Amino acid sequence: MMTGVRLVVGSNDKRPHSRKKLKMSEHEEHHDEHGQSDQGHDDHHGHLQLEYEDALPINNGKVCLWLFLSTEIMFFAGLIGTYIVLRFGAPAGTWPRPHDVHVDEIWGTINTFILIFSSFTVVLTYEATKRNLAKKAKVYLAITFLCGCAFLGIKMLEYAGKFEHGIHPRPGSRSLLYEQADVYYLRDLKAVVTGVQGVIPLAAKSADAEAAAAQVPDAEVAAPTSSDPGRETLEGFLHHSVQWAEYVIGQVPNEEMSSEGNGLNHREVLVALAQEVYPLEKRYGDLTTKTHEAERDYIEARLKVLPDFVTAAGEDNDVLSMLAYEETILKARQKFLEEHLHSEGGDEDDSHDDHSHGGLNVTLHDQGSAVILPMHIPSGNMFAATYFLLTGFHALHVIVGLILFAFPMFWTLEKSRANYIENAGLYWHFVDLVWIFLFPLFYLF
């Protein structure tokens, strides 16, 4: 118990005899009285004494705990504040929704109730310990410990789901999350599918476009996936989508308005390609549908004029091979669009369901393939970094709390252990409070 010292000055104070007093010496008192008489002051001067009084009813262990928690509060306040600035400071509509990045609010809600319930049981543990109800306290403590383990188990399942779908940072290598669906995304996407580092398609010079296009028909799925269950799926994606995007970027004029069939908007074509891999229906559903319709119109118009180009080519084998390749790509894409546009128009409401990811990555995952294709998720890298940083630090604090609860499991929880249980419970309440802030930020917004 902490004590305090109080300084009291007064001549007529009558204090209890148990209090310690420090009196002036007779010589000092006589000298002081003599000095005061010369100056015309009162003859009586107060005595100097020290009084010992009880300070706050708090033990040293609790003081140290509160000092520690104050540093932890500042630590998490900085992390959460930084996340809020990044999250709400991002351009409107660019931050991924929870289901865009496999964040399920059901699991987050369950974990929230688990932590709240564990805070209740740790209070029961403390009350039972104060009353020397050792067996009952041990039961409540065991429930608290199991709640913490359940929280971590659910969190590990969430982490595993994100790693299975590539929603995570990748230290030392390129992340699978791309902020923009551009030619760099197309290059890396093809590299993952074929296992060969590709070149960026160019639309500036026709000679470069023809040279790049001439190599495309020879592209195959990467050899390591020859026995992969998703090989057939990847081959179809390579021929009717990846090569189509390369063809568009390399040879089709970039038009802002593609309704006339004269050209296609390159960015929209690449976004539509990215949506085949990992669709974000709420954000790009309408854009993808319109782009597919524009692609269909362009392909139909182009196939009508190809015979004229074949006739004009005569016996030029190089030109004829290029036109044959172009026809193959156009027909492969046309067949894909016929199936895809039919499914898009079948049930318009389902295409905007946040809970149905679909996409090639989900198909590959369901087929048991180990291949994860790059995904276009705006602000995806920032989300993944902040999500794993904040929830990771919180999970680390949960582990520390479980360690604090593990030791008393081997003790007799009598009244003398009440201070330890109280301090451990205060720490656990802090861990619970931090999660109350993290849950709505990551799971509801």
Q: What is the pLDDT of residues 385-433, one digit of tens each?
A: 999 999 999 999 999 999 999 999 998 889 999 999 999 999 999 999 9
Q: What is the pLDDT of residues 187-201, one digit of tens each?
A: 999 988 887 666 655
Average pLDDT over residues 213-228: 52
Interstrand relation of 375-376 and 177-178 (parallel, antiparallel or unpaired): parallel
DSSP state of 239: I
Kindly report the backbone phi and psi dihedral angles of residue 264, in degrees, each rounded to the nearest multiple of 5, phi listed first: -130, 145
Q: Quick check: helix, strand or coil at residue 49?
A: strand
Task: Express as a percent the part of the chain with pLDDT over 70.
Answer: 75
The CA-to-CA distance between both ends of the chain, in Å, stands at 47
State which H helix or E strand residue 332 sits in.
helix 317-346
Q: Dihedral of CA 437/438/439/445: which sign?
A: positive
C-alpha span between 49 and 67 (Å, rounded): 33
Q: Mean pLDDT in the chain?
A: 81
Higher pLDDT, 110 or 312: 110
The yes-or-no verdict on residue 220 having pLDDT over 80 is no
15 confidence band (pLDDT: 50, 70, 90): very low
Nearest CA among 426, 433, 434 for reference residue 123 = 426
C-alpha span between 200 and 28 (Å, rounded): 97
Higher pLDDT, 33 or 90: 90
Q: What is the pLDDT of residues 18-65, one digit of tens each?
A: 444 444 444 444 545 545 445 544 555 556 777 766 666 777 888 898
Side chain identity, residue 64:
C
Q: What is the pLDDT of residues 158-175, one digit of tens each?
A: 999 899 888 988 877 788
C-alpha span between 109 and 116 (Å, rounded): 11
C-alpha span between 434 and 445 (Å, rounded): 17
Which residues lie below 8 Å from residue 108, measured CB to CB, with a gap of 6+? 439, 442, 443
Nearest CA among 271, 267, 345, 259 for reference residue 295 = 259
C-alpha span between 255 and 345 (Å, rounded): 25
The yes-or-no verdict on residue 13 having pLDDT over 80 is no
Radius of gyration of the chain (CA): 36
Q: What is the pLDDT of residues 231-272, one digit of tens each?
A: 888 888 998 999 999 999 888 888 875 445 457 899 999 999
C-alpha span between 367 and 228 (Å, rounded): 9
Q: What residues form DSSP beta bridges with 128?
A: none
355 confidence band (pLDDT: 50, 70, 90): very low
Average pLDDT over residues 336-359: 59
Q: Tokens 């799971």, residue? A: 443
The yes-or-no verdict on residue 155 having pLDDT over 50 is yes
Neighbour-count burial for 409-432, b at 16+ CB within 10 Å, e otherwise: eebebeeebbbbbbbbbbbbbbbb
Q: What is the pLDDT of residues 361-382, one digit of tens each?
A: 988 888 888 889 999 999 999 9
The yes-or-no verdict on residue 113 having pLDDT over 90 is yes
The yes-or-no verdict on residue 14 having pLDDT over 70 is no
Higher pLDDT, 277 or 12: 277
Q: Are 165 and 369 in contact (CB under 8 A)?
A: no
pLDDT, residue 222, reads 56
Average pLDDT over residues 58-76: 89
The yes-or-no verdict on residue 216 having pLDDT over 60 is no
